[in-house]
Structure 1
Amino acid sequence: MRTRTRTGTTTTVAAALTTAVALLLSGCGGSDSDDSGKDQIAGADTGASTSAPSTPSKDTVERPEIKLPEDIENVFEGSPTGDAKKDAVLADNERRVNSIDEAIVVDAEKHPALEFYSKGDALASAATYIKSFYDNDRSFTGKTRYYDREVTLAKDGSATVTYCVDGTDTYPKDRKTGKADRSVKASPSDYVFYNSRLEKSTEGVWQTTSVSSTEAAKRCM
């Protein structure tokens, strides 16, 4: 029940990268008020929880902490797979999803996890999507399910992750009042299929470089 085209690449790369840089440097809120450095959006639950991937990482990478409010729940199905490399890819894909949601619902000056797990086209389109929430003074609340997740490892060292998203249990939320609109009805567009490409950085992080999405995907219903 929230726009799920967040990781598509319909925006031109140059324009989106400009938006991404501005977003990452100045904070998502884009406000000059004294409240621009708040750690949480108005009306959000005061107790924030750290969102850890369902497949804990056994590496030694120093990762930025991701915290989501208690009214946000992301459910990732299909892990562990039994393959250590695929599990690592899925874990960083989960972190990437959580980093985008954190940037949307937590009004902070910086969101380091966003560019830690995304780069290139994927970072640009994510930043554009995030900014759209702030431009419209809205956020979201509820549970999102991620399922039918599959990892394909390529010979060039990259990986592809495909998965379905069910957003029928999420609701739009007013940023200023913190009030959720639960009158919004679920629709076929709440079921989205994603196809993402990831590359492993020199630090050992699987960063998403590009993503395509299909709304109202029959394979996800």
Structure 2
Amino acid sequence: MNRSRTLPVAAVSMAAAAALLLSGCGGGDDKDSGKDKIAGADEGGKKSASPSSKKSDAPAIDRPEMKLPSDVEIEFAKANLSDPDQAAAATDAENFVLSIRHGIVKQDPEDAAYKFYSEYQGPAFKYAKDQIKKNVDAGYTVTGEQHFSGTKVDVVKKKTSAVVSFCSDATKFFSKEVKTEKVHRTKPSVTDFASWEILMTASDSNKGLWRAKQAQVRDGAEECRR
């Protein structure tokens, strides 16, 4: 794919980001809640959601619709998480990733989906926008299958923040020129595998919603190779 996966703040480790969060330099998303009130529907595409072990008394979250074209499949392996907060954090980390792909296929750097699933103007928000804009500016969209597996959740602060990690496999995921629809196929290599870490924080104003605060993506992750 025609993309740069590394955040401008990639030198800052996820552990450091979590430490900042705990020290009071980061937190919930009350400030951004008024900026992304988005009318939507249940997610589309071929994303598999993580399970939640308990029913919530919170009102249903009005999520943006994320429908992908028939030639794009983003698949997440089922994560067996018994804790409902961890399951919610993992599901919305997946939604954050999906929102970037949605913005690319919609060719819209201002797409509502990534704004909903990230803290407003935070590092993850800027990363998502940058990924979408780079593809749009280059005249590329995406096609094929991208698979995610090995989901793990490390709680930073109970019910408030957690780091969600997983691996991605893009051996069957390619760039496609928007104008000509020419697909740029590449031979499978270790560079198709990436390790993801996303720092998620629970929304203060929208119970049950988690948003991405930081994201760190490392290409060429040998440990993610199947």
Choose the corresponding residue for 1:50, options 44, 47, 53.
44
Q: CA deviation at 1:107?
A: 3.2
Aligned length: 184
Q: Which residue of 1 aligns with 2:88?
A: 88
- Aligned counterparts of 2:3 and 2:111: Cα–Cα separation in 1: 21
- Aligned counterparts of 1:139 and 1:188: Cα–Cα separation in 2: 22
Q: Deviations over 1:104-135 (max 9, x none)?
A: 01135852111100120001111111111011
Look up the equivalent residue of 1:81 and give its one-letter code.
L
Choose the corresponding residue for 2:128, options 123, 126, 151.
126
Pairwise CA RMSD: 2.5
Alignment of 1:62-211 (within 5 A): 62-107=62-107, 110-119=110-119, 120-155=122-157, 157-182=160-185, 184-202=186-204, 203-204=206-207, 205-211=209-215
What SS class does the counterpart of residue 3 from structure 2 fall into?
coil
Look up the equivalent residue of 1:8 and give its one-letter code.
L
Q: Which residue of 2 aligns with 1:214?
A: 218
What SS class does the counterpart of residue 94 from structure 2 fall into?
helix
Relative distance call for 1:151 and 1:66 in structure 2 (3 A) is same
Relative distance call for 1:56 and 1:116 in structure 2 (3 A) is farther
Look up the equivalent residue of 1:101 and give its one-letter code.
R
Look up the equivalent residue of 1:151 and give its one-letter code.
V
- Aligned counterparts of 2:217 and 2:50: Cα–Cα separation in 1: 24
Q: CA deviation at 1:83?
A: 2.3
In structure 2, runs of 5+ residues without a counterpart are: 11-42
Q: CA deviation at 1:56?
A: 6.4
Relative distance call for 1:134 and 1:178 in structure 2 (3 A) is same
Relative distance call for 1:56 and 1:135 in structure 2 (3 A) is same
- Aligned counterparts of 1:10 and 1:158: Cα–Cα separation in 2: 19
- Aligned counterparts of 2:62 and 2:97: Cα–Cα separation in 1: 18
Q: Deviations over 1:144-195 (max 9, x none)?
A: 011111011222621110111111111110011222233x212211111111
* TM-score, normalisation: structure 1: 0.75
* TM-score, normalisation: structure 2: 0.73
**Equivalent residues of 1:53, 1:95 under 8 A apart:** no
**Equivalent residues of 1:4, 1:215 under 8 A apart:** no
- Aligned counterparts of 2:106 and 2:135: Cα–Cα separation in 1: 12
Q: Which residue of 2 aligns with 1:17?
A: none
